[in-house]
Structure 1
Amino acid sequence: MDIGRKRLVAYKFPVVCLEPIQQLMQLMDPGSLEGFREDYGLILSFVTVLSKDQHDALFTLLQFYDPPLRCFTFPDYILVPTLEEIASFLRVPIRSQLLFYSSEFLPDLSMVASATYLEESVWKANMCQKGEVSGFHLSFLLGEAKKKLEDGNQRGFNAVLALCVYGIVLFPNVAKFVDMDAIRLFVLRNPVVQFSPTQIRSVR
C-alpha cells in the first residue's frame, strides 16, 4: 500500500525542573527507595533527562502519532498502550474508580493531609495562586520533604517526594508549581487511567 510521503511534524518538548527532585532522590538509601516503590511504584523512573539518542527515538516515534485517533499509526497496524501495560510498567495497580475529571473530585484538606503526612494547618498556610491556578510552590514541598527526613519520618518524606513527581513530572501544568489537579490525582492514587490516550485530554 502506498501511503505517500509523510510530512515531518515538529514537536517542542517542555523543559521540566528535575534537578531539585533528583537532589531529593539522592538522599534516599536503598532501603527507603524500595519502600517508596512499594507505595508508589516506579514513578521515579520518570525523573530523568533524556539522552540525545532517546530524544531522537522519541521524536521519530511521534512522527507516527495520530492526534485525532490518539494512537500511533503505521502502514499495517496501529499501536496504542493498554492500561494493563502501563500498570505493569509503573508497578501501580489499576483501582476500581471512575475516570478523573478535575471539576468532579474536590478532596478536603483532611484527605490531602492524610495522603501527604502534612498537617492541615501547613496546607492552609501555604496554599497560593499562580495565575488562575491554585496549589503549592515546588520550593515549599521540597522544604517539607527535607523536614520529614530530618525528623526521621521516611514515609512522610516519600509521600511529599511522590507528590512532587505527580505535580512536576507526571501531570505538569505550571512550571515549579504543583496544582490542585495533581494533588487530587495523588490523593486518588490511580494515575494509570490518566495515561490512556482517550483520557489524557480530560485531565485538564
Structure 2
Amino acid sequence: MENGPLDRVEGNANVHRWSEQTQLEKRDSISVGFMSELSDYTRISVTQNNLQELKEIWDQWDNKTKQLFYGNYGDLPYLLDVQVDKHLFRAFAQFWNPVYSCFTFGEVDLVPTVEEYTALLRCPRFQMDRIYSRAACVPTFWKKLMTVTRMSEQWITARIKEKGECRCISWVALKDLILTHPDETKKVDVFALGLYGLMVFPRALGYVDEATTDLFHRLSKRVTAVPTILAETFRSLGTCRKTGAGRFIRCAQLLLAWFYSHF
C-alpha cells in the first residue's frame, strides 16, 4: 500500500537544524541582531459561546443517535466537556510568537501540528490528502442551509441575518430545528453544524456564519478541515499578539486540549 503523508515525517531535531540553517543563510528573521517586536502583554478576550444547550441536547440523545453522529462526524462532542480556563489561556497565549507561528517557552518552540489536531478532532472520515479549500463557485448561503437542514427556501431566508460583514443564521433557529426535525439524519447534521459554528469557528456569538456553512458543506466530501482550523488559530493568535489586544475567535477548547496533552 502506498505510504501516506503521515509516513513521511522527519525527526524534530533534523527539521529544527535544517530550518535554523536555512533561515540563517537566507538572512531572515533569525539573523544576528533581530528583535521580535511584540507587546509586553496582550489583553486577549476568550469570550466564547455558551455551549450548555449543545451539551444538554447531546446528553439527551440515545446511543443510536450518538453512533450516527460518530459515524458521520467523529467524536467532536467530547470537546464540550473541555472547560475554557480563561486565566490559563491568556497566560500561555503570551508565549505565541507570530514571527515563527509557534509558542516559545524559553528555549523550547512548540506548535500544534496537523497530525496532532487530526488526532484531537477524532474524525476517522477525514482524508489527509483531501484538504478543504474554498471552491471558485459555491452554492449561495441559503442553498447550503437548505442542503444541511432540508427546510424550505422561505424558512431559511426568513432566518438569515446580517452580523457585521457576514451573513449568519442564529443558534436559536438551529436549536429549535434539532429538537423538532422529523429526520434523525438531518437532526444530526444540524447539530454538527451548530458544533462547528459555535465552538470551532465562533466568529459571531450566538450565530453560525456563512464561512462555516461553506466548510461544513464540503465535509461530506471527506475533506479534512484541520489545516484550515490550524491556520485560523494561528491567524487569530497572531493578530491579538501583534495588536496587543483582541478576541480569540477560534476553537479555544481544541487549543487547550492540545496544550493539556503536552503539559
For 2:82 and 2:108, how far apart are their aligned partners in 1? 31
For 1:18 and 1:200, how far apart are their aligned partners in 2? 23
Moved over 4 A (4+): 7-10, 54-57
Instruction: State the match for 1:78 in structure 2.
Output: 109
Which runs of 5 or more structure 1 residues have no equivalent in the other structure? 1-6
Which residues in structure 2 correspond to 1:1-204 (within 5 Å)?
9-48=42-81, 50=83, 54-92=85-123, 93=126, 94=128, 96-97=130-131, 99-100=133-134, 106-108=138-140, 109-148=142-181, 151=182, 153-189=183-219, 190-197=224-231, 200-201=234-235
Asked whether the 8 Å contact 1:138–1:176 carries over to 2, the reply is yes
Of structures 1 and 2, the one with the larger relative CO (CA 8 A, separation 6+) is 2
For 1:8 and 1:199, how far apart are their aligned partners in 2? 19
Larger radius of gyration: 2
SS at 1:136's partner residue? strand
Which one-letter code corresponds to 2:176 in the other structure? G
Asked whether the 8 Å contact 2:48–2:202 carries over to 1, the reply is no
TM-score w.r.t. the length of structure 2 is 0.62
Deviations 1:40-86 (A, max 9, x none): 122212324616xx555444432322133221113333212221221
SS at 1:87's partner residue? helix
Asked whether the 8 Å contact 2:131–2:225 carries over to 1, the reply is no
Which runs of 5 or more structure 2 residues have no equivalent in the other structure? 1-39, 237-248, 251-263
**Two-structure CA RMSD over aligned residues (Å):** 3.0
> How many residue pairs get matched?
192
Structure that is richer in strand per residue: 2
Which one-letter code corresponds to 1:129 in the other structure? E
Instruction: State the match for 1:4 in structure 2.
Output: none
